Structure 1
Protein backbone atom coordinates (compact mmCIF):
# COMPACT_ATOMS: atom_id res chain seq x y z
CA UNK A 1 0.00 0.00 0.00
CA UNK A 2 1.39 3.42 -1.02
CA UNK A 3 1.72 5.97 1.81
CA UNK A 4 2.06 9.63 0.93
CA UNK A 5 2.87 12.78 2.89
CA UNK A 6 2.07 15.78 0.74
CA UNK A 7 3.77 15.25 -2.61
CA UNK A 8 6.17 12.64 -1.24
CA UNK A 9 5.70 8.88 -1.45
CA UNK A 10 7.24 7.27 1.61
CA UNK A 11 9.57 4.29 1.14
CA UNK A 12 8.63 0.96 2.65
CA UNK A 13 10.82 -0.17 5.51
CA UNK A 14 11.88 -3.21 7.52
CA UNK A 15 12.22 -3.25 11.29
CA UNK A 16 15.28 -5.05 12.64
CA UNK A 17 15.33 -6.27 16.24
CA UNK A 18 17.56 -8.75 18.08
CA UNK A 19 16.61 -10.46 21.34
CA UNK A 20 18.30 -12.95 23.64
CA UNK A 21 17.28 -14.96 26.67
CA UNK A 22 17.98 -12.30 29.34
CA UNK A 23 15.37 -9.89 28.04
CA UNK A 24 12.32 -9.31 30.25
CA UNK A 25 9.12 -10.53 28.56
CA UNK A 26 7.16 -7.39 29.46
CA UNK A 27 9.84 -5.18 27.91
CA UNK A 28 9.94 -7.21 24.71
CA UNK A 29 6.16 -7.11 24.47
CA UNK A 30 6.06 -3.33 24.84
CA UNK A 31 8.91 -2.84 22.39
CA UNK A 32 7.35 -5.05 19.70
CA UNK A 33 3.98 -3.41 20.14
CA UNK A 34 5.44 0.08 19.82
CA UNK A 35 6.94 -0.79 16.43
CA UNK A 36 4.10 -2.81 14.99
CA UNK A 37 1.53 -0.14 15.90
CA UNK A 38 3.36 2.75 14.24
CA UNK A 39 1.24 5.40 12.49
CA UNK A 40 3.13 4.39 9.33
CA UNK A 41 3.50 0.64 9.90
CA UNK A 42 6.38 -1.50 8.65
CA UNK A 43 6.15 -3.67 5.55
CA UNK A 44 8.54 -6.19 7.07
CA UNK A 45 9.61 -7.10 10.60
CA UNK A 46 12.71 -9.22 11.24
CA UNK A 47 13.27 -10.53 14.76
CA UNK A 48 16.61 -12.22 15.32
CA UNK A 49 16.53 -14.70 18.21
CA UNK A 50 20.17 -14.72 19.30
CA UNK A 51 20.25 -18.18 20.88
CA UNK A 52 17.42 -20.09 22.48
CA UNK A 53 14.87 -17.98 24.33
CA UNK A 54 13.01 -18.65 27.56
CA UNK A 55 9.50 -20.08 27.44
CA UNK A 56 8.06 -16.70 28.45
CA UNK A 57 9.86 -14.89 25.64
CA UNK A 58 8.84 -17.55 23.12
CA UNK A 59 5.20 -17.05 24.08
CA UNK A 60 5.50 -13.31 23.40
CA UNK A 61 7.23 -13.92 20.07
CA UNK A 62 4.66 -16.52 18.99
CA UNK A 63 1.74 -14.23 19.81
CA UNK A 64 3.10 -11.44 17.59
CA UNK A 65 4.02 -13.91 14.86
CA UNK A 66 0.44 -15.19 14.81
CA UNK A 67 -1.07 -11.69 14.79
CA UNK A 68 1.27 -10.20 12.18
CA UNK A 69 2.08 -13.33 10.17
CA UNK A 70 2.10 -11.46 6.84
CA UNK A 71 5.13 -9.33 7.84
CA UNK A 72 6.67 -10.93 10.94
CA UNK A 73 9.75 -13.06 10.25
CA UNK A 74 12.00 -14.84 12.74
CA UNK A 75 15.67 -15.54 12.21
CA UNK A 76 16.69 -18.23 14.69
CA UNK A 77 20.33 -18.57 15.71
CA UNK A 78 20.97 -21.72 17.74
CA UNK A 79 23.68 -20.27 19.99
CA UNK A 80 24.20 -16.74 21.27
CA UNK A 81 26.64 -15.07 18.86
CA UNK A 82 26.45 -11.46 20.03
CA UNK A 83 24.79 -8.34 18.74
CA UNK A 84 27.01 -7.66 15.71
CA UNK A 85 26.63 -11.11 14.14
CA UNK A 86 22.93 -11.20 15.02
CA UNK A 87 22.32 -7.87 13.28
CA UNK A 88 24.18 -9.06 10.19
CA UNK A 89 21.93 -12.11 9.94
CA UNK A 90 18.94 -9.83 10.35
CA UNK A 91 20.12 -7.38 7.70
CA UNK A 92 20.35 -10.25 5.21
CA UNK A 93 16.75 -11.19 5.95
CA UNK A 94 15.30 -7.66 5.69
CA UNK A 95 13.25 -7.24 2.52
CA UNK A 96 13.33 -3.44 2.28
CA UNK A 97 16.27 -1.15 1.56
CA UNK A 98 15.38 1.06 4.51
CA UNK A 99 15.91 -0.59 7.89
CA UNK A 100 14.70 0.83 11.20
CA UNK A 101 16.72 -0.61 14.06
CA UNK A 102 14.98 -1.25 17.35
CA UNK A 103 16.26 -2.55 20.69
CA UNK A 104 14.16 -5.21 22.38
CA UNK A 105 13.55 -3.20 25.56
CA UNK A 106 13.00 0.33 24.23
CA UNK A 107 9.81 2.09 23.19
CA UNK A 108 9.28 3.94 19.92
CA UNK A 109 6.77 6.76 19.89
CA UNK A 110 3.92 6.28 17.39
CA UNK A 111 5.22 8.72 14.75
CA UNK A 112 8.88 7.67 14.84
CA UNK A 113 8.92 5.74 11.57
CA UNK A 114 6.59 8.16 9.81
CA UNK A 115 8.99 11.02 10.53
CA UNK A 116 12.12 9.06 9.63
CA UNK A 117 10.70 7.75 6.36
CA UNK A 118 9.34 11.21 5.50
CA UNK A 119 12.84 12.63 5.88
CA UNK A 120 14.25 9.85 3.69
CA UNK A 121 11.63 10.73 1.07
CA UNK A 122 12.35 14.46 1.24
CA UNK A 123 16.14 13.95 1.24
CA UNK A 124 16.78 10.77 -0.77
CA UNK A 125 20.57 11.19 -0.54
CA UNK A 126 20.53 10.46 3.19
CA UNK A 127 21.80 7.06 4.32
CA UNK A 128 21.34 7.30 8.12
CA UNK A 129 18.68 9.03 10.19
CA UNK A 130 18.45 9.15 13.98
CA UNK A 131 16.50 11.06 16.62
CA UNK A 132 16.79 12.38 20.14
CA UNK A 133 16.21 9.80 22.88
CA UNK A 134 14.48 10.12 26.23
CA UNK A 135 16.00 8.11 29.07
CA UNK A 136 13.44 7.05 31.66
CA UNK A 137 13.51 5.14 34.92
CA UNK A 138 12.14 1.70 34.20
CA UNK A 139 10.65 1.43 37.73
CA UNK A 140 8.99 4.83 38.08
CA UNK A 141 8.58 5.87 34.40
CA UNK A 142 10.18 9.19 35.41
CA UNK A 143 12.13 10.99 32.67
CA UNK A 144 15.78 11.12 33.72
CA UNK A 145 17.33 12.96 30.77
CA UNK A 146 17.10 13.64 27.05
CA UNK A 147 20.11 12.71 24.95
CA UNK A 148 20.53 15.24 22.18
CA UNK A 149 22.85 14.72 19.23
CA UNK A 150 23.97 16.97 16.35
CA UNK A 151 21.35 17.43 13.65
CA UNK A 152 23.01 18.23 10.34
CA UNK A 153 25.60 16.14 8.51
CA UNK A 154 28.51 18.55 8.91
CA UNK A 155 28.12 18.58 12.68
CA UNK A 156 27.49 14.83 12.73
CA UNK A 157 30.76 14.18 10.89
CA UNK A 158 32.72 16.36 13.33
CA UNK A 159 31.06 14.89 16.44
CA UNK A 160 31.65 11.33 15.19
CA UNK A 161 35.40 11.68 15.63
CA UNK A 162 35.01 11.21 19.38
CA UNK A 163 31.49 9.96 20.09
CA UNK A 164 28.61 8.26 18.34
CA UNK A 165 26.67 11.08 16.63
CA UNK A 166 23.52 8.95 16.55
CA UNK A 167 21.55 7.51 19.43
CA UNK A 168 21.89 3.81 18.67
CA UNK A 169 18.31 3.16 19.82
CA UNK A 170 16.93 5.45 17.13
CA UNK A 171 18.88 4.65 13.97
CA UNK A 172 17.37 3.96 10.55
CA UNK A 173 19.71 3.24 7.64
CA UNK A 174 19.97 1.97 4.08
CA UNK A 175 20.48 -1.77 3.82
CA UNK A 176 22.43 -1.39 0.56
CA UNK A 177 24.97 0.96 2.17
CA UNK A 178 25.33 -1.25 5.25
CA UNK A 179 26.00 -4.27 3.04
CA UNK A 180 28.51 -2.28 0.96
CA UNK A 181 30.70 -1.72 4.03
CA UNK A 182 30.34 -5.30 5.27
CA UNK A 183 27.70 -4.75 7.94
CA UNK A 184 28.48 -4.82 11.64
CA UNK A 185 31.84 -5.89 13.02
CA UNK A 186 32.14 -8.89 15.32
CA UNK A 187 32.30 -6.86 18.53
CA UNK A 188 30.58 -7.71 21.79
CA UNK A 189 30.14 -4.08 22.91
CA UNK A 190 30.16 -0.60 21.31
CA UNK A 191 29.51 -2.18 17.91
CA UNK A 192 27.04 0.56 16.98
CA UNK A 193 29.61 3.34 17.15
CA UNK A 194 32.11 1.40 15.03
CA UNK A 195 29.38 0.67 12.47
CA UNK A 196 28.34 4.33 12.25
CA UNK A 197 31.94 5.57 12.02
CA UNK A 198 32.62 3.14 9.18
CA UNK A 199 29.44 4.23 7.37
CA UNK A 200 30.49 7.88 7.61
CA UNK A 201 34.08 7.09 6.66
CA UNK A 202 32.80 5.49 3.44
CA UNK A 203 30.71 8.51 2.52
CA UNK A 204 27.33 7.93 4.15
CA UNK A 205 25.22 11.05 4.67
CA UNK A 206 23.35 11.43 7.92
CA UNK A 207 20.89 13.62 9.76
CA UNK A 208 19.14 13.56 13.12
CA UNK A 209 15.57 14.61 13.81
CA UNK A 210 15.72 17.05 16.76
CA UNK A 211 12.82 15.44 18.55
CA UNK A 212 12.42 12.64 21.08
CA UNK A 213 11.00 9.68 19.15
CA UNK A 214 12.40 6.79 21.23
CA UNK A 215 12.27 6.10 24.97
CA UNK A 216 15.25 4.27 26.48
CA UNK A 217 15.04 2.33 29.75
CA UNK A 218 17.60 2.86 32.48
CA UNK A 219 17.75 1.55 36.04
CA UNK A 220 19.98 1.76 39.10
CA UNK A 221 22.52 -0.55 37.45
CA UNK A 222 22.95 1.53 34.28
CA UNK A 223 25.68 3.77 35.70
CA UNK A 224 27.56 0.76 37.07
CA UNK A 225 27.46 -0.85 33.63
CA UNK A 226 28.71 2.32 31.92
CA UNK A 227 31.64 2.68 34.35
CA UNK A 228 32.54 -1.02 34.50
CA UNK A 229 35.95 -2.26 33.44
CA UNK A 230 34.35 -4.44 30.75
CA UNK A 231 32.63 -1.42 29.21
CA UNK A 232 35.76 0.71 29.57
CA UNK A 233 37.89 -1.85 27.73
CA UNK A 234 35.32 -2.11 24.94
CA UNK A 235 35.08 1.69 24.75
CA UNK A 236 38.86 2.06 24.31
CA UNK A 237 39.13 -0.88 21.91
CA UNK A 238 36.50 0.50 19.54
CA UNK A 239 38.07 3.93 19.48
CA UNK A 240 41.45 2.36 18.77
CA UNK A 241 39.95 0.40 15.86
CA UNK A 242 38.42 3.61 14.48
CA UNK A 243 41.70 5.47 14.96
CA UNK A 244 43.72 2.73 13.24
CA UNK A 245 41.35 2.88 10.27
CA UNK A 246 42.51 6.45 9.67
CA UNK A 247 39.18 8.06 10.50
CA UNK A 248 40.34 9.90 13.64
CA UNK A 249 43.48 11.60 14.87
CA UNK A 250 45.32 10.66 18.04
CA UNK A 251 43.69 13.44 20.09
CA UNK A 252 40.28 12.20 18.97
CA UNK A 253 41.26 8.77 20.27
CA UNK A 254 42.94 9.92 23.48
CA UNK A 255 40.50 12.50 24.89
CA UNK A 256 37.32 10.37 25.15
CA UNK A 257 39.36 7.39 26.39
CA UNK A 258 40.89 9.52 29.15
CA UNK A 259 37.40 10.67 30.16
CA UNK A 260 36.11 7.10 30.21
CA UNK A 261 39.06 5.99 32.37
CA UNK A 262 38.25 8.82 34.74
CA UNK A 263 34.64 7.69 34.98
CA UNK A 264 35.87 4.17 35.72
CA UNK A 265 38.18 5.35 38.50
CA UNK A 266 36.02 7.97 40.22
CA UNK A 267 33.09 7.16 42.56
CA UNK A 268 29.65 6.24 41.28
CA UNK A 269 28.08 9.57 42.34
CA UNK A 270 30.65 11.47 40.29
CA UNK A 271 30.02 9.28 37.26
CA UNK A 272 26.28 9.84 37.53
CA UNK A 273 26.83 13.61 37.79
CA UNK A 274 29.09 13.68 34.72
CA UNK A 275 26.60 11.72 32.62
CA UNK A 276 23.68 13.93 33.58
CA UNK A 277 25.58 17.24 33.42
CA UNK A 278 27.88 16.87 30.41
CA UNK A 279 27.01 13.74 28.43
CA UNK A 280 23.25 14.34 28.41
CA UNK A 281 21.41 17.55 27.67
Structure 2
Protein backbone atom coordinates (compact mmCIF):
# COMPACT_ATOMS: atom_id res chain seq x y z
CA UNK A 1 0.00 0.00 0.00
CA UNK A 2 1.20 3.51 -0.85
CA UNK A 3 -0.15 6.78 0.56
CA UNK A 4 0.67 10.47 0.19
CA UNK A 5 -0.22 13.88 1.59
CA UNK A 6 -3.59 14.25 -0.15
CA UNK A 7 -4.99 10.99 1.25
CA UNK A 8 -7.76 11.09 3.83
CA UNK A 9 -6.69 9.90 7.30
CA UNK A 10 -10.17 8.59 8.14
CA UNK A 11 -10.20 6.50 4.96
CA UNK A 12 -6.72 5.16 5.73
CA UNK A 13 -7.89 4.12 9.19
CA UNK A 14 -10.86 2.28 7.69
CA UNK A 15 -8.49 0.49 5.32
CA UNK A 16 -6.41 -0.65 8.31
CA UNK A 17 -9.55 -1.79 10.13
CA UNK A 18 -10.38 -4.03 7.18
CA UNK A 19 -6.88 -5.52 7.28
CA UNK A 20 -7.21 -6.23 10.99
CA UNK A 21 -10.47 -8.09 10.33
CA UNK A 22 -9.12 -10.55 7.75
CA UNK A 23 -9.88 -14.25 8.32
CA UNK A 24 -6.36 -14.85 6.95
CA UNK A 25 -4.27 -11.95 8.30
CA UNK A 26 -1.26 -10.57 6.43
CA UNK A 27 2.15 -11.62 7.76
CA UNK A 28 3.49 -8.16 6.95
CA UNK A 29 2.15 -4.91 5.55
CA UNK A 30 4.58 -2.92 3.43
CA UNK A 31 3.50 0.71 3.66
CA UNK A 32 5.16 3.29 1.40
CA UNK A 33 4.82 6.93 2.43
CA UNK A 34 5.29 8.80 -0.84
CA UNK A 35 6.81 12.11 0.29
CA UNK A 36 5.98 14.30 3.26
CA UNK A 37 2.53 14.01 4.84
CA UNK A 38 0.55 15.81 7.53
CA UNK A 39 0.37 14.95 11.22
CA UNK A 40 -3.11 13.41 10.83
CA UNK A 41 -1.81 10.69 8.50
CA UNK A 42 1.35 10.19 10.56
CA UNK A 43 -0.71 9.66 13.71
CA UNK A 44 -2.93 7.05 12.04
CA UNK A 45 0.12 5.13 10.86
CA UNK A 46 1.71 5.26 14.33
CA UNK A 47 -1.52 4.07 15.94
CA UNK A 48 -1.97 1.13 13.59
CA UNK A 49 1.67 0.16 13.64
CA UNK A 50 0.95 -1.06 17.19
CA UNK A 51 -1.89 -3.28 15.95
CA UNK A 52 -0.75 -4.54 12.56
CA UNK A 53 2.60 -5.88 11.22
CA UNK A 54 3.32 -2.63 9.37
CA UNK A 55 6.75 -1.92 7.93
CA UNK A 56 6.87 1.75 7.00
CA UNK A 57 9.21 3.14 4.35
CA UNK A 58 9.33 6.85 3.53
CA UNK A 59 10.21 8.39 0.17
CA UNK A 60 12.01 11.68 0.67
CA UNK A 61 10.11 13.08 -2.30
CA UNK A 62 6.88 12.11 -4.03
CA UNK A 63 7.81 9.67 -6.80
CA UNK A 64 4.32 8.52 -7.81
CA UNK A 65 2.33 5.34 -7.37
CA UNK A 66 4.09 3.20 -9.98
CA UNK A 67 7.58 3.71 -8.61
CA UNK A 68 6.35 3.45 -5.01
CA UNK A 69 4.76 0.07 -5.79
CA UNK A 70 7.93 -1.10 -7.53
CA UNK A 71 9.93 -0.17 -4.42
CA UNK A 72 7.33 -1.74 -2.13
CA UNK A 73 7.32 -5.02 -4.02
CA UNK A 74 11.10 -5.24 -3.70
CA UNK A 75 10.71 -4.90 0.07
CA UNK A 76 8.09 -7.65 0.40
CA UNK A 77 9.42 -10.73 2.19
CA UNK A 78 6.93 -13.24 0.79
CA UNK A 79 6.00 -14.77 -2.57
CA UNK A 80 2.26 -14.02 -2.36
CA UNK A 81 1.64 -10.27 -2.33
CA UNK A 82 -1.73 -8.48 -2.13
CA UNK A 83 -2.31 -4.93 -3.37
CA UNK A 84 -4.60 -2.37 -1.78
CA UNK A 85 -5.25 1.37 -2.04
CA UNK A 86 -5.22 3.57 1.04
CA UNK A 87 -8.90 4.55 0.78
CA UNK A 88 -10.43 1.14 0.02
CA UNK A 89 -11.94 -1.50 2.30
CA UNK A 90 -11.23 -5.22 2.04
CA UNK A 91 -13.92 -7.85 2.46
CA UNK A 92 -13.03 -9.90 5.59
CA UNK A 93 -12.40 -13.05 3.52
CA UNK A 94 -10.46 -11.38 0.71
CA UNK A 95 -6.99 -12.71 1.53
CA UNK A 96 -8.26 -16.18 2.39
CA UNK A 97 -10.11 -16.52 -0.93
CA UNK A 98 -7.19 -15.28 -3.01
CA UNK A 99 -4.49 -17.18 -1.14
CA UNK A 100 -6.40 -20.45 -1.49
CA UNK A 101 -7.02 -19.72 -5.17
CA UNK A 102 -3.33 -19.20 -5.95
CA UNK A 103 -2.36 -22.26 -3.93
CA UNK A 104 -4.81 -24.43 -5.88
CA UNK A 105 -4.03 -22.82 -9.28
CA UNK A 106 -0.22 -22.81 -9.65
CA UNK A 107 -0.56 -21.78 -13.31
CA UNK A 108 -2.07 -18.39 -12.35
CA UNK A 109 0.30 -15.46 -11.73
CA UNK A 110 -2.29 -12.88 -10.63
CA UNK A 111 -5.80 -13.18 -9.26
CA UNK A 112 -8.13 -10.23 -8.84
CA UNK A 113 -11.80 -9.84 -7.98
CA UNK A 114 -14.83 -7.69 -8.64
CA UNK A 115 -15.25 -4.35 -6.86
CA UNK A 116 -18.27 -2.97 -5.02
CA UNK A 117 -18.38 0.82 -5.43
CA UNK A 118 -19.80 3.17 -2.79
CA UNK A 119 -19.79 6.86 -1.96
CA UNK A 120 -20.96 6.95 1.67
CA UNK A 121 -20.93 3.55 3.39
CA UNK A 122 -20.42 -0.01 2.19
CA UNK A 123 -24.03 -0.72 3.10
CA UNK A 124 -25.05 1.49 0.17
CA UNK A 125 -23.41 0.02 -2.92
CA UNK A 126 -23.86 2.16 -6.03
CA UNK A 127 -22.32 -0.13 -8.63
CA UNK A 128 -20.27 -3.28 -9.19
CA UNK A 129 -17.15 -3.36 -11.32
CA UNK A 130 -17.26 -6.86 -12.77
CA UNK A 131 -14.65 -8.49 -15.00
CA UNK A 132 -14.36 -11.90 -16.70
CA UNK A 133 -12.96 -14.69 -14.53
CA UNK A 134 -11.59 -17.15 -17.10
CA UNK A 135 -7.90 -16.73 -17.97
CA UNK A 136 -8.38 -17.41 -21.69
CA UNK A 137 -11.16 -14.84 -21.96
CA UNK A 138 -9.09 -12.32 -20.00
CA UNK A 139 -6.20 -12.61 -22.47
CA UNK A 140 -8.36 -11.27 -25.30
CA UNK A 141 -10.29 -8.90 -23.02
CA UNK A 142 -6.97 -7.25 -22.07
CA UNK A 143 -6.38 -6.21 -25.68
CA UNK A 144 -9.28 -3.77 -25.26
CA UNK A 145 -9.56 -3.01 -21.55
CA UNK A 146 -7.67 -3.43 -18.30
CA UNK A 147 -8.37 -7.06 -17.24
CA UNK A 148 -7.86 -6.67 -13.49
CA UNK A 149 -9.08 -4.25 -10.82
CA UNK A 150 -5.68 -3.19 -9.52
CA UNK A 151 -6.58 -2.66 -5.81
CA UNK A 152 -8.01 -6.20 -5.67
CA UNK A 153 -5.07 -8.25 -6.92
CA UNK A 154 -2.90 -10.84 -5.23
CA UNK A 155 0.09 -12.04 -7.23
CA UNK A 156 3.25 -14.11 -7.18
CA UNK A 157 6.15 -11.74 -6.58
CA UNK A 158 8.56 -13.81 -8.66
CA UNK A 159 6.29 -13.68 -11.73
CA UNK A 160 5.86 -9.91 -11.50
CA UNK A 161 9.62 -9.43 -11.21
CA UNK A 162 10.24 -11.62 -14.27
CA UNK A 163 8.59 -9.00 -16.49
CA UNK A 164 10.24 -6.01 -14.82
CA UNK A 165 7.64 -5.12 -12.18
CA UNK A 166 5.93 -1.71 -12.36
CA UNK A 167 6.92 1.06 -14.79
CA UNK A 168 6.33 4.76 -14.26
CA UNK A 169 3.09 5.16 -16.25
CA UNK A 170 0.85 7.39 -14.15
CA UNK A 171 -2.75 6.08 -14.00
CA UNK A 172 -1.76 3.16 -16.25
CA UNK A 173 1.06 1.38 -14.39
CA UNK A 174 -1.15 -1.63 -13.69
CA UNK A 175 -2.55 -2.08 -17.22
CA UNK A 176 0.98 -1.72 -18.63
CA UNK A 177 2.13 -4.48 -16.25
CA UNK A 178 -0.74 -6.86 -17.06
CA UNK A 179 -0.17 -6.47 -20.81
CA UNK A 180 3.53 -7.31 -20.49
CA UNK A 181 2.70 -10.21 -18.20
CA UNK A 182 0.16 -11.72 -20.58
CA UNK A 183 2.40 -11.17 -23.59
CA UNK A 184 5.13 -13.13 -21.79
CA UNK A 185 2.87 -16.16 -21.42
CA UNK A 186 1.68 -15.71 -17.84
CA UNK A 187 -1.97 -16.28 -16.94
CA UNK A 188 -4.35 -14.24 -14.82
CA UNK A 189 -7.83 -14.78 -13.35
CA UNK A 190 -10.57 -13.05 -11.39
CA UNK A 191 -12.67 -14.42 -8.55
CA UNK A 192 -16.30 -13.52 -9.44
CA UNK A 193 -17.00 -11.93 -6.06
CA UNK A 194 -16.67 -8.38 -4.76
CA UNK A 195 -13.73 -8.69 -2.36
CA UNK A 196 -12.92 -4.96 -2.22
CA UNK A 197 -15.12 -1.93 -1.56
CA UNK A 198 -14.00 1.19 -3.45
CA UNK A 199 -15.02 4.82 -2.91
CA UNK A 200 -16.21 6.68 -5.99
CA UNK A 201 -17.11 10.31 -6.54
CA UNK A 202 -17.04 12.88 -9.33
CA UNK A 203 -13.27 13.27 -8.95
CA UNK A 204 -12.72 9.64 -9.95
CA UNK A 205 -14.23 10.21 -13.40
CA UNK A 206 -12.56 13.60 -13.71
CA UNK A 207 -9.13 12.01 -13.14
CA UNK A 208 -9.84 9.63 -16.00
CA UNK A 209 -10.20 12.38 -18.55
CA UNK A 210 -8.12 15.04 -20.23
CA UNK A 211 -5.27 15.30 -22.73
CA UNK A 212 -2.56 14.12 -20.32
CA UNK A 213 -4.46 10.95 -19.40
CA UNK A 214 -5.05 10.19 -23.08
CA UNK A 215 -1.37 10.77 -23.90
CA UNK A 216 -0.29 8.25 -21.25
CA UNK A 217 -2.88 5.74 -22.48
CA UNK A 218 -1.55 6.15 -26.00
CA UNK A 219 2.00 5.45 -24.80
CA UNK A 220 0.81 2.23 -23.17
CA UNK A 221 -1.03 1.18 -26.34
CA UNK A 222 2.11 1.89 -28.39
CA UNK A 223 4.06 -0.35 -26.03
CA UNK A 224 1.49 -3.12 -26.54
CA UNK A 225 1.83 -2.67 -30.31
CA UNK A 226 5.64 -2.71 -30.19
CA UNK A 227 5.81 -5.94 -28.17
CA UNK A 228 3.17 -7.62 -30.32
CA UNK A 229 0.41 -7.84 -27.73
CA UNK A 230 -1.98 -5.97 -30.06
CA UNK A 231 -1.93 -5.46 -33.82
CA UNK A 232 -2.29 -2.20 -35.79
CA UNK A 233 -6.06 -2.49 -36.20
CA UNK A 234 -6.48 -3.10 -32.46
CA UNK A 235 -4.25 -0.10 -31.76
CA UNK A 236 -6.34 2.15 -34.02
CA UNK A 237 -9.58 0.89 -32.44
CA UNK A 238 -8.29 1.49 -28.92
CA UNK A 239 -6.90 4.91 -29.85
CA UNK A 240 -10.22 6.14 -31.26
CA UNK A 241 -12.44 4.75 -28.50
CA UNK A 242 -10.18 5.87 -25.66
CA UNK A 243 -9.68 9.30 -27.22
CA UNK A 244 -13.43 9.87 -27.37
CA UNK A 245 -13.90 8.81 -23.74
CA UNK A 246 -11.03 10.92 -22.37
CA UNK A 247 -11.93 14.11 -24.23
CA UNK A 248 -15.69 14.30 -23.58
CA UNK A 249 -17.13 16.33 -20.63
CA UNK A 250 -16.87 14.66 -17.23
CA UNK A 251 -20.65 14.22 -16.86
CA UNK A 252 -20.81 12.24 -20.11
CA UNK A 253 -17.75 10.20 -19.15
CA UNK A 254 -19.38 9.34 -15.82
CA UNK A 255 -22.53 8.17 -17.61
CA UNK A 256 -20.46 6.09 -20.03
CA UNK A 257 -18.60 4.34 -17.20
CA UNK A 258 -21.76 3.64 -15.24
CA UNK A 259 -23.72 2.45 -18.28
CA UNK A 260 -21.15 0.38 -20.19
CA UNK A 261 -18.25 -0.43 -17.83
CA UNK A 262 -20.14 -1.56 -14.72
The structure 1 residue matched to 2:252, chosen from 252, 267, 270, is 270
Runs of 4+ in 1 over 6 A off after TM superposition: none
Which one of the candidate residues 169, 190, 204 is aligned to 1:187? 169
1:112 Cα shift?
0.7
Aligned to 2:41: 57
1:46 aligns with 2:14: no
Identify the residue that residue 28 of structure 1 maps to in structure 2.
12
> 1:50–1:111: structure 2 CA closer, same or farther, 3 Å change rule?
same
CA distance, structure 1, for counterparts of residue 121 and residue 214 of structure 2: 26
CA distance in 1 between partners of 2:219 and 2:96 (Å):
36
SS of 1:127 mapped into structure 2? strand
**Match among 139, 143, 156 for residue 161 of structure 1:** 143
Distance (whole Å) between structure 2 residues aligned to residue 117 and residue 199 of structure 1: 20
- How many Å apart are 1:61 and its aligned residue? 0.6
Query: Deviation of residue 175 (structure 1)?
Result: 0.5
Q: Give the corresponding residue for 1:234.
A: 216
Deviation at 1:141, TM superposition (A): 6.4
CA distance in 2: counterparts of 1:141 and 1:191, whole angstroms: 31
| Contact kept? 2:122, 2:197, Cα under 8 Å | no
Q: Which runs of 5+ in 1 are unaligned?
A: 1-16
Shift of 1:211: 0.6
Is the Cα contact below 8 Å between 1:227 and 1:260 reproduced in 2?
A: no
RMSD of Structure 2 on Structure 1 (CA): 1.6
Q: CA deviation at 1:140?
A: 9.2
Q: Does structure 1 retain, via aligned residues, the 8 Å contact 2:113–2:190? A: yes
In 1, Cα distance between equivalents of 2:251 and 2:56: 42
Counting only pairs closer than 5 Å after superposition, residues 134-145 of structure 1 correspond to structure 2 as 134-138=116-120, 142-145=124-127
Give TM-score scaled by structure 1 length: 0.88
Once residues 32 and 126 of structure 2 are traced to their aligned partners in structure 1, the CA distance between those partners, rounded to angstroms, is: 30
Q: Aligned to 1:221, what secondary structure does the other structure show?
A: helix
In 2, Cα distance between the equivalents of 1:119 and 1:50? 31
Q: How does 1:1-281 map to 2 (within 5 A)?
A: 17-68=1-52, 71-138=53-120, 142-280=124-262
The corresponding residue for 1:7 is none
Runs of 5+ consecutive residues of structure 2 not aligned to the other structure: none
TM-score by length of 2: 0.95
